[in-house]
Each structure stands twice: as structure tokens, then as C-alpha cells.
Structure 1
């Protein structure tokens, strides 16, 4: 039986910053936190909340800048350290000192960094189609194919990109799900009105509804190089500073056009212990495409960890 989902809860995770979140399950049960990406919201994880809430206290927040959470307009409000503080603040607000963290896309970027910088908050890490930051930095700096696949990031970083995303009823945002040479996503249409409503929630201080979301790209040093900005090539990151030492499951839809499976190459040198679950017929949005398969993969891995 699926666990009922409770929406409409808020936590002040840092001074002046509130995250909206939904839950399933009983507080006090082991905590599992689900972290969405761009351009999504907590309801990316509805199938997971209903499933894992039967045994866990399953929680899915809207990240800062999205939906009903705080949406400050300043780029500096979306630096990695600040975003990680939101996650630790949420875990603390819920009355826990650690969690199983499940994350996709930009949520995965936050979760990777949390496990690297503050691993005491992470019992186990589950990543879905989100590259390890050092592996992504390396690919953006040296791989022309990855640079081409990620070229959209530089457009999102430009002033006014949110206006372009909002044109014609958010057609460009819908293209993240239905475009890029892919056929229309059958899972998207039933959720279309919810996404349209979520993308329309105003930002703070009169800012655009989408400014918070695109600020993730503007605040990040990880983007393809340009003539004016060398991007990750100038960072001089060292792999030993980016090690993950928490049990980690990486689930990867191999039809991801923006994040090819080559980003998994050499990952075992950065993450230990590591399990990789490949889904050959899954795309970037595999959480939506195959929710039961995602649940089964997580269940099987967690059972082995017990």
C-alpha cells in the first residue's frame, strides 16, 4: 500500500530562507531525503515518496529558487556552500543528524558536494543522472562532445535567459522534457499544469519567477569554456579533494543526451564504495520514465547495505 503524501510544510533552514517540503511516512523512522533538479520541484519524487514512505520518513523539498521555497534574486544566494547549508538545515529541522540522500540533476550536484564536504550528514548516497563534480569539470574542460552537449548552460547563464524560457507559455522549459531530438514525453502531459503553475510562482523582491532556477547556472563555475571565460579549465581542481567515502549508488539512464554515460568512466577512483546501475533504455528523466525501476534499484541496493 502506498504511503500518503503530506504537502505544504515549511522549514526555516537558514536565516530568512524557508524550504517548502512534502513528506510520506512516520517521523522518527530512518530519514530519506529526495532532492530534485532543474526545472523541477518536489513532485518529481511523488512515486518515491509513496513507495519509500512505507518504511522510511521520506521527505522531498523544493530547492531554494523553485516553486514555494524562498526565491532570492541574487546570484550569490545560489553558491554551493549556501545551497548545502539549506540541505543540512532541513535535516536538522526534521530532527535528524544524517539521512539517506537521493538526488537527480542539480539536486545531485548538491548531494555530491554535501557528501564530499560534510559527509557526516550522509548515511548513504543515491545519485541519478548527475555527474560527480570533478568528473564533470574534467569533461567540460577537455571533451569537445561534452562541451557541445552542455552549451545550453552558457545560454542559461546570460542575462535575461529567464525571459526566453518563459516565452510562449514556457515552451523552452517544456522543451527540456520534450525536445532535444526526443519524442514527446508521455509522462509530462499529465503534469503539465503543475509545472506551468510552479514555473509561474513569483520570485522575491519583484524578481522573475525563473530567476532563482537559472541562478544555479550563473553561480556555478562548472560550464563550458567561452572566449571570455575559461570556466573549469581555470579552477585547477585536484581529484584527491573530491573523494566520496560514503556508500554510493549511481543510477544512470544511458540515453541522456546532455550527460552521456562516459561521465561514469573512472568514477570508482573518486567514490568508494560504489555501485553503478545502468538503465540502457532510460533518458535524463528516468525518474519519471521508469519510477518503479528506480524504486526497485534503490530497494535492492539498500537491502544489501543493511
Structure 2
């Protein structure tokens, strides 16, 4: 029988940030951490927590700035190193030295960096539709098609974007799920929509600040974005066993972002889902669960 999801749990981290998290399964079992992206929250993993709570301690936090977790007002608080540190401290708070990590979208961006910086605490890494940071930086800097696909990032970075997102009962936010899924999304039903609207009503500035605090966006006349970075590719090597699941019908993050990934990850396998969009976690939850389980059992 599937494990029960427990919500309303909070971790006060040593850096002063309080994170809300949901979990399933018993503490003491191996830890598997599910990390959401934008514009989501722990609920993204509502089909994964009961499944993996049967034999793991499955935990899905709200990242800082989202839903019930702390929402710092200082823009610099949303730099990647601080989000990485939150996850490091959360793992320790839960009583573990290591975790298997499953991450999507912005959560994937954070967890790529976590695996690069702190490989000793990542047992296995499963990334869903989130590009390796160096490859993404190169695409944003030099690939016109990627620059066009990512132009929404510059819109989100603008002052007041959160107000536009909230307008007309979150019409634009609903469009992220329906439009990026290339049509009305069957999974985004009334109950799911209500859960997301309740999350978004708690505040959108934190999530948007991830974009504002990052250099990873197409260059503009006033902000050169990745063009201002001088990065050594050797600093972006991933040594932990990694599996990538990629919905190939992702309009914002095309499958070309996987080209060259073998040069940055020692142990990597890719599972491509031709009919999956950016929201493949929601569209095909049973398939995602099977693929995660296969990797865990390798």
C-alpha cells in the first residue's frame, strides 16, 4: 500500500532559513529528496512521495521563496549558493549524511550545482528537464534559438512581473502549464489548479527572484548575462552517478541542451520521452516513477 503524505513540517536551518516540507515513509530509511522548480512547490511530487515512501524516507521541500517556506526580501538571498546551502543543511537537519536527489527545472539547476560542489552528500542524481549549468550558459551566450526560447526569463526579471503573473486570477501562471504543454493540460484539473493557486497567493516574488538573481538569461543591452562570465568547464564536472529524464517536447529547454553532456558527467544515462513536455512529471507520473525506480535499483 502506498505511503501517506505528511505535510505541515518545518525545518529551521542553521543559516536561519525555515523550510516547509512534505514527506512520506519512515525517517531512518534511505533519504530521497525531491526538489521542485518554478512555478511549483512540494506538490509537484505528489505522485512520487507515496510511491517512494514505501521503502525510502521521501522528502519534498518548498524551496526558499516558495509556498510555506521563508521568503527573504533581499534579492541576493536567491543566489544559487544559498539555495544549495539550504539543501545541504536540510539533509543534515533530517539526520542524514547523504541523499539520492530527484530534481526538475530550477530545482535541477540548484542540484546540478549541489552535486558539483558537494558530491559527498549526493548518492545518486536524477535530473528532469534541467540543463547542465555550463552547457546552458554556452547556449544562452551563443545559440540564437536558445536565446529566443529563453526570452521569457528577461520578462520575469523585470520589476513588477509578479504582479502581472497574479493578474486575472493567475491567468499567465495557468498558461505556463497549459501553453508550455502545448494545449490544455489534462493533469491541471480543478483540484490541482486550486492547490497551485493557494501556493501562488502566498507570494510570487520569491520564485521570480531566482531569475533576477541569476546571470543565466539571454543578454540584453543593459545586462550581458552569461557573456560577463569567465568560467572554466573543468569546474563543472559531475562525479556522482547521474540519470537524466528529458521530455523532448519542451519548448523552453530543447533536447539540444543535452549535446555534450557526457563531457561533464562521468556516469550518465539519458532517458528521452518524445511525447513529454516540460511538465512530464505531471503528464506521465507512473512512467517517471518506473524510471526513477530503475535507477535506484541499478
Structure 2 length-normalised TM: 0.98
Please name the residue that 1:206 is paired with.
none
Please name the residue that 1:69 is paired with.
69
Please name the residue that 1:227 is paired with.
221
Please name the residue that 1:242 is paired with.
236
Contact between 1:64 and 1:71, CA under 8 Å: does it hold in 2? yes
Moved over 6 A (4+): none
Structure 1 residue 182: deviation in Å?
Answer: 1.3
Structure 1 residue 14: deviation in Å?
Answer: 3.6
Contact between 1:64 and 1:212, CA under 8 Å: does it hold in 2? yes
Distance 1:104 1:132, change over 3 A: same
Structure 1 unaligned segments of length 5 or more: list them: 202-208
Structure 1 residue 180: deviation in Å?
Answer: 4.2
Please name the residue that 1:13 is paired with.
13
Aligned length: 297
2:259 is the counterpart of 1:265: yes
Contact between 2:181 and 2:277, CA under 8 Å: does it hold in 1? no
Structure 2 SS opposite 1:2: coil
Structure 2 SS opposite 1:277: strand
1:113 and 1:14 map into 2 onto residues whose CA distance is 20
Structure 1 residue 303: deviation in Å?
Answer: 1.1
Please name the residue that 2:198 is paired with.
197
1:173 and 1:269 map into 2 onto residues whose CA distance is 36
2:129 and 2:180 map into 1 onto residues whose CA distance is 16
Distance 1:235 1:196, change over 3 A: same
1:251 and 1:244 map into 2 onto residues whose CA distance is 16
Per-residue Cα deviation, 1:89-114 (whole angstroms, up to 9, x for no partner): 11001000110010000000110000
Aligned-pair RMSD on alpha carbons?
0.9
Q: Which stretch has the larger CA shift, 282-291 or 180-189?
A: 180-189
Structure 2 unaligned segments of length 5 or more: list them: none
Structure 1 residue 181: deviation in Å?
Answer: 7.5
Please name the residue that 1:204 is paired with.
none
Structure 1 residue 236: deviation in Å?
Answer: 1.6
Q: Which stretch has the larger CA shift, 7-16 or 30-39?
A: 7-16
Correspondences of 1:62-211 after superposition (within 5 Å): 62-180=62-180, 182-189=182-189, 190-201=191-202, 209-211=203-205
Please name the residue that 1:28 is paired with.
28
